[in-house]
Chain A
Amino acid sequence: MKQSLFETRHQPHWQAFAAQLALLEQGKAKAHDLTRFPHDYRRLCQHLALAQERGYSSYLVDPLQQLALRGHQQLYRHRSQLGAKTLSFLLADFPRTVREQWRFVLVASLLFFGSLVGIGLLVYLFPDLIYTIVSTEQVTEMQGMYDPDASRLGRAAERASSEDWMMFGYYVMHNIGIAFQTFAGGLLFGLGSVFFLFFNGLMIGAVAGHLTQIGYGQTFWSFVIGHGAFELTAIALAGAAGLQLGWALIAPGALPRGESLRLAARKSVQMICGVMVLLLIAAFIEAYWSSTTAVQPWGKYLVGASLWALVIAYLVFAGRSRHAPE
């Protein structure tokens, strides 16, 4: 068949297909208009193959190729049922992922909590050590924040409740940023994650040790215990996700490094989604619960301890049975 005949015969189909594509790309297509879309797409692919095989000119083949490419983009979409997926992710998939990657979680937790507790004890025993880790101004600022005489706790000493919003925003921004950095650093063969885990553990531990040592322990611990359950776990998990990336590069096994990295990234991003949820909860608790002074310290310790138990129980037990509501 000559090119012109082929073209005049099929041109209306192609134009109709292009119109359908334009609708789909703008998101205006209705379901009942699209029943013939897969069929039309396959016919277009057949026409393209014919045109190439018969050596028709580039100005015919190229537009057909473009149409096929656009059709391919629309037909092979990843279907996302965001609502159902989020629920099953929170109820089962996230804790499952954490348990599946327990080696990385263990290493990250040891790095983070190990450096935190270790340096905390050291600073508690040798008070002067704090000044080699944290700058003098920061120490003064920290002392101001957790001074037992202040009425509200947290980043600013005198806070009205209208400022809770401000702090919520600040915590979201600051903490999730840290978690993302800890994760992304894993791409440098895991070194970045190790660094951020260790560094954050060091900072938090030093401040905790120092404040306990100077007698601000009550205000400090009752403030941090509640949201710490979510926040510290989340940082450790972000580090674990980063270490997973790094390990995929260090020991890719039978795969090429790029491929191994791609697979590890797909898994670790699930962990990061969970980390974001944990940090949002943490920011909420930190802004609205941790900072009140209306509750007695023992009440805060009680709630804080049950939050820790809740987080650990969630990560260890959730989603174990196959028939969990998914």
Chain B
Amino acid sequence: MPSHTALPGNAMPTAPLDTRYQIETPEGIDLPLRPAGLMPRALAFGFDLGLRGLILGILFIALAFLGNLGIGLGSILLFFVSWWYMVLFEVLNQGCSPGKQVMGLRVVQDDGTPIGWSASLIRNLLRFVDMLPFGYFLGAISCLQHPHFKRLGDIAAGTLVVYREQPLARPQLPQAPALRLPFALELNEQRAILGFAERQGELSAERTHELAAILATPLQVSPARAVEQLNGVARGLLGPT
């Protein structure tokens, strides 16, 4: 994408200041993943911890009636819940443990493909080291200093915790007569104008005017009419519906 714009002073920096992680697929397109930071991951883990406690509590009460057999089953259960809960959910439920589901996260491999048994096993066995010396200390440090927020287990397993994609609600474009500009627009100028028209609903009227007024001179209209002009151009770009 060309990096120069009509207004160099207000141009976007070429490398945006966000945490997006690009993967290139064999089809030759770039897909953006959004790695999740420490806080949502800690909350997801907290939720999982609580849920596991609840499951164990209920089952232990039930097993207490079975005597020694119950104790045996109980310790197998404890083993499963403490070491296999995450692995089973991550592999069988599209990379989401219940906590991650609640927080809208999921685990994927570094190349964006779904997580498999071995990677999930590695990242969850090594959780033990992330918890050292207490309360996820090493894991938190690793997570905070890594560009894609990986804890040690993630680095070893080559996995990534990302936000799940949420469905987008499409806004209505403001009504305006379609216009054609007398000069050609570059691709990112075109996207910027479309973005301005689509996101108007989220901005206050004053801010909309302020933003549009920046473009009043190149559009050769008075600042008061710039908003309407830009909406018209956006309509024109979109084409007849």
Contact = CB atoms under 8 A, between A and B. Distances in A.
A180 B125 contact: yes
B113 A78 contact: yes
A291 to B, nearest CB: 13
Q: Is the interface of B mostly helix, strand, loop or mixed?
A: helix
A184 B73 contact: no
B198 A57 contact: yes
Contact of B198 (A59, A177, A180): A59
B31 A72 contact: yes
Contacts, number: 165
Interface residues of B, number: 59
A65 interface: yes
Given A57-B194, A167-B72, A187-B152, A177 B239 contact: no
A261 B155 contact: yes
B3 to A, nearest CB: 14
Interface stretch (B40-48, B76-84, B97-105, B208-216): B76-84
Interface string B99-131: 000000000100111101110011001111100
A165 B157 CA distance: 35
Contact of B187 (A45, A55, A58, A187): A55
A190 to B, nearest CB: 12
A80 B116 contact: yes
Interface stretch (A97-105, A124-132, A265-273): A265-273
A59 B238 CA distance: 12
B25 interface: yes
A289 interface: no
A66 B112 CA distance: 12
Contacts of B117: 80
A49 interface: yes
B156 interface: yes
A169 B156 contact: no
Interface string B120-155: 011001111100100000000000000000001001
Given A57-B198, A272-B125, A162 B68 contact: yes
A8 B72 CA distance: 62
Nearest to A183: B125
B155 A262 contact: yes
A217 B134 CA distance: 40
Contacts of A72: 25, 31, 112-113
Give the interface centre of A48, A56, A78, A272 by most chain B CB atoms within 10 Å. Answer: A78
Contacts of B5: none
A133 to B, nearest CB: 24
Nearest to A45: B27
Contact of A187 (B27, B32, B94, B129): B129
Given A76-B113, A162-B68, A184-B129, 14 more contacts: A4-B241, A25-B94, A45-B27, A49-B28, A49-B29, A55-B185, A59-B171, A69-B31, A165-B68, A165-B72, A172-B79, A187-B156, A192-B129, A269-B122
Nearest first, the 3 A-B pairs at minimum CB distance are A2-B239, A169-B72, A57-B194
22 contacts: A2-B240, A3-B239, A48-B29, A56-B191, A57-B198, A58-B195, A59-B168, A68-B31, A78-B116, A160-B68, A166-B69, A166-B71, A169-B72, A169-B75, A169-B76, A172-B76, A173-B75, A177-B79, A177-B83, A184-B127, A264-B156, A273-B121
